[in-house]
Amino acid sequence: MSALMEQRHLGRTGLRVSRIGLGTLTWGRDTDEHDAADLLKTFWEAGGSLVDTADVYGDGEAEYLLGRLIEGLVPRRDLVISTKAGSVPDPDRRFDGSRGHLLSALDDSLTRLGTDYVDVWHVHAYDPQTPLEETLQALDLAVSSGRARYAAVSNFCGWQLAKAATWQLAAPGTRTRLAATQLEYSLLQRGVEREVLPAALDLGIGLLPSSPLGRGVLTGKYRGDATPADSRGASEHLAPFVEPYLDDTASRIVDAVQTAADGLAVTPLQVALAWVRDRPGVTAPIVGARNAQQLTAALSVEALSLPDEICRALDDVSAPVHRYPDHDWSTL
């Protein structure tokens, strides 16, 4: 394997991962085994190591498919496998952070993946019906038993992340520190900058942005009311996922990304991905691609670093409105 991609430490840990991660949200549903194999091989050959999945992706098929591929296509030791537990199909309870559910889900994930450990194990979301210390104890047990090497969370808001991380740090040596958190982050969705990102930076937690291309909208494929037939926006079950980012505000940001891309002689995809990859606190954006050609286009961002003036222009056009209590009162 040619190690082409830069590696970064995941939060304040010794674990190093590729600075772009491969997402598997559509594996086993919209992405079949042949395309998944092409994606994983392309990613690995480019020096990629971080592969992100979850027990609910494709109702478990994503993990099962990944397990089959690492058995014969890519050596297990070359991958950093990240998976999640806690989401449940029960309409009355979307998330289950109980110790029993999480540890059972981890065992099921390991079976599907065909491995005896995952590198990074996330609690998929905060469960208000379970005491947080019980949820976090599941992470401690997973790491102490060797079934997970590092612990993480996903979709925690700022106070939830800070509370969880501080609890884990309160008993060093007996509790495992949180290595990472995963949330949506892009030029079209900068909400994490309000509280989550400052907390993560302060506590040494690496951010793994999901949907770094604004659910595909930042590639420019939907400009001018276009909806490509093979896009998520044309998919019956994914169209509602894309629709919130097709408003006038998003259109102005997409136009700015296109202008920057034209000026740099690169693609809008490369501009949008480079911007989020190099934001403070970000370890690795998680990229989902439909085929190897799309993934190769995303991985080509490795050679691109945006000039400061381009970053400032994109920051300005996409800046979220944060007033009290986030305003810097020292400037008044």
List, by residue number, the catalytic residues: 57
Residue 208 CB coordination number (10 Å): 29
CA–CA separation, 147 vs 96, rounded Å?
20
CA–CA separation, 66 vs 155, rounded Å?
23
Residue positions counted in the chain:
332
Specify whether the CB–CB gap between 49 and 20 falls below 8 A: no
The counts of H helices and E strands in the chain are 11, 10
Q: Which residues pair with 151 in a beta bridge?
A: 121, 178
DSSP of 104-170: HHHHHHHHHHTSS-EEEEEE-S--TTS-HHHHHHHHHHHHHTTSEEEEEEES--HHHHHHHHHHHHT
Q: Is 318 exposed, middle or buried (0-12, 13-18, 19+ CB in 10 A)?
A: buried
